[in-house]
Each structure stands twice: as C-alpha cells, then as structure tokens.
Amino acid sequence: MASSNNTSRLVELAGIISSAVDKIQGALSEKGLPQPSFDEDSNYVLPAEAHVVEAQGQVLDAAGELYDLLLDPFTLLFRHGGVGDALFPMLNDLNGHLHNNMVCQQAITRFRMADQVPPGGQRSFADIAKSIKVDEQSVTRLLRYAMTMRIFCEPTPGMVAHTNISKLLRTPHVHDWMTVATEEIWPASTKASMLDAMQKWPGSQEPNETGFTISNNTTVSIYDTMAANPQRAERFGGAMVAFASSPSVDIAHLVNYYNWASLGDAAQVVDIGGGTGAVAKQLAEQYSGLHVLVQDIAPVVDDAKANVPAYLKERVRFMTHDMFAPQTITADVYVLRWVLHNWADKYAIMILRALVPALRCGVKILLNEMCMPDPGAVALSREKDLRAMDLDMAAVFNSHERSAGQWRSLLAEADPRFELRNVIQPPGSILAIIEVGWNVTSSLSYEL
C-alpha cells in the first residue's frame, strides 16, 4: 500500500501503531484491567468493545505490514512458507496457520498459478480455475488466503494480479525450490491431501471425499472414523473444547448480544446439536423466562443430563435427536451454533429442511456461525484467521464458511420461506448471530 503523501510508509505505520496502542491503553486504564504480559500468572483479555477491537486490528495489521516491508520478497516468502515453514515451523509460523500457508503455496506451485497471471496485468479467478481445471470456489478461497501473505493481490473484485512475491514464483529456480518444499519435505512430515481430494472429486460435497479421507487411507468421513476410534474421538473432542474456550468463540457473545428478553416469559428454545448444554445452561442462568431443550445424539445426551445444576433442571432438558430427521418439537427459537459450517451446502440444506415441519408464524432460527467478510472489509489479521478456518473446513469436512450472501442463498434454496432478517457481529467474536425468520405466506413441498 503506497502512502498518499511524501511521508515514509514505515513512519506512517509506526504512527498508526502508536495511535492505536494509545486507544487500547486508555481502555485498559479506564477499566482498571491488567496489562498484557507473558508472566506465568498473567490473565488478561482486551475489552470486547468495538473501538478496542478496531484498534487491535489496526495494530496487528500495521505491525504485520511493517514486519513484511522490512524483508525482501524471497525472505518474506521463506518466512510465510516453503522450506522455512517446513523445517522450522516454530520459528517462522508466528500466526499459527502453518498448514494453511503451506497448502496455499502447494496449490500455487502444483498448478503453476504464478504463470497463469501475466506480469503487469490481471486475470479473473474464473479464468484461472478454467485453465488449471479446478473449481472456481476452491481457486478463489486458496488465492484469497494466499493474498493475506501478500502472494498475489485483488486490485479489483474478482481479478488477480501479481505482487513482487508471486511474480518471484515465475522464476524457474524459485518455483523448483517451493515445489520441493511443498511436495516432498512438507508431505513427508504432515501428509496433507486436501488438493488431492479437490482433483480426485472436483466440486464434491460429500464428507468422505476429503483430504482427511485420503490422508487416513479410508473411504469414510471424519465422523465415521472418529466413531470407530474412541481414543481419537476423545482427542478431537478435547481439541474442540480447547478452541471453544477462546474469547473469540465465547458463548457470552451469543447470550449477551441477542435480545433474549424480548421473547418474554416461558419462551421455548431448542438448541440443535447443543452438546453438553453449555449454551442452554448459560441462557437459563441469565434469563429466568427461558426453557431450553438441548438436542443431540444419544451418547452426548446421556452424559450431559447428569451435569445440569439442580436449580436449572426444570428449564434445561435434553432429548436424543438426529438433526437430519424431521423436527418434532415446537419452539419459539431454534439455535444452531457452529453446526452448519461442518456440512457442505447439500447437507446443510437437509438440516434446515428438517426444521420445516415444526415451524410456524413468528418463529426465529438463530445461526451462530461465521459470516465471511468481503476481502479488505476487516483487519487483515482477522481476515486471515477466518480464511484459515474456511480452508480447514474444506480439508476435513468438505464444507465451507459462508458470507452473508451465501447464507441468504443457502436459506432460499432450502426453502424460500426462510428469511435472513439480521446479522449481528459481536465485537471480538468470530461468530455472527444470524437471525432467520419464517414467512408463512409462500408455500413449497418436497420430500425430506
């Protein structure tokens, strides 16, 4: 990004960092909160307020750009991936996205994407996809993530151009170096197969046609694999618990940023795929008028029932239910928190259609899911985290994170009576609260 005046970009970035840090420091001092520290007993969280979250993004973006500007293109490429990441991940992957950095660079070299874009010119995602015979959605998600590493750029919507880093990959010996790193060194230690799945099953939406399937030398999905291996399932579940405990996905965002009180007394909430009832218990704790029914598979429900406090047992209940089966419980609100992103559109539509038999006028469906931003709409550091999650969904589940437009299209395809009415993005949360209504004035019939 070039500066609009004669001020050095380095000086400009330093000024942005200084100003934004002042805002963060002011918020910490005003609230009497502890200062950020790496001390063993330090326990701090930045206030989840819009101006603090914005300032945090400004600092991270400016600091990242300052860091990148002080490196020559080849060194920067080394730091983001290639042999540097393959051999020294702890030194080079400071953002925790080593596997996503590497899969994007593997795609760029395997499909010779740098050669697809003319120096000094532009080419569309669609044209590149057609040339390399990979579906456009996959090409777009891979290149947009690569752009967060400053490999390629999108000067106008839908068009790809070079940066000095991507242009460097047109040099034969640099391309060879990256190919050795991504196709030989990295697979020898990590065996990533996401791109193999894209080529073997182009455009597939099946959960058993993924990089996970290939790397595990199986024909079944991650769900069946985990079901057959309790030890792996327990480890995977522990990882999800650890991730769910991070501030960016805290249940408090869902509980505090939606107007639950407006539902009135004795409102019935159904939490589909609600696991052990964490959302249900917190809702019942804070809103005495809510009654919450948690639906999940039998093993989860059986274990969860015993862990509900006695004073909440009348308002927090559990029920065994298959989310693909027709819904039998009438409620005021149905919650699907972090459920649909695990499933490709084909299956997400089936889950949504399964709700239809129980829906009536005035009902609300709350999807607590990511709402992917347009490129450049949020801090680059945050966009990179979101696009990394999108790639993870592709590799493991054959699913994807969705933008507001994609959510609207998904709902319309499931049933035109679904209406996306509001998207609430709590500050500091990676999950939005997507409020969906039910319009009974139109009709549609289909088989579940």
Residues with active-site annotation:
341
Supply 260's token pair: 């639950």
Q: What does the CA dihedral 433, 209, 353, 421 come to, rounded to 10 degrees?
A: 30
- What kind and span of H or E run contains 225? helix 222-227
CA distance 30 to 218: 56
Supply 277's token pair: 């009832």
CA distances from 309 to 122, 149, 285 (A): 60, 47, 10
How far is C-alpha 23 from the geometric centre of its chain's CA atoms?
A: 28
Supply 46's token pair: 């930045």
Q: How many residues are recorded in the chain?
A: 448
CA distance 52 to 23: 7
Write b or e for each residue in 117-156: b if 16 or more Cβ atoms lie within 10 A of its Cβ, otherwise e: beeeebbbbebbbeebebebebbbbbbbbbbbbbbbbbee
Residue 48's contacts (CB-CB under 8 Å, 6 or more residues apart) are 247, 253, 426, 427, 428, 429
Supply 269's token pair: 């909430």
> Strands 432-438 and 418-424: what pairing?
antiparallel
CA distance 395 to 240: 16
Which strands make up the sheet holding 267-272, listed edge to edge?
Answer: 316-320, 290-296, 267-272, 333-337, 364-369, 432-438, 418-424
Nearest Cα neighbor of 81 from 183, 215, 10 is 183
CA distance 370 to 380: 16
CB 246 within 8 A of CB 240: no
What are the DSSP calls for 28-60, one per residue? Answer: HHHHTPPPP---TT--------HHHHHHHHHHH
Nearest Cα neighbor of 148 from 169, 173, 165, 172 is 165
Supply 433's token pair: 């609260």
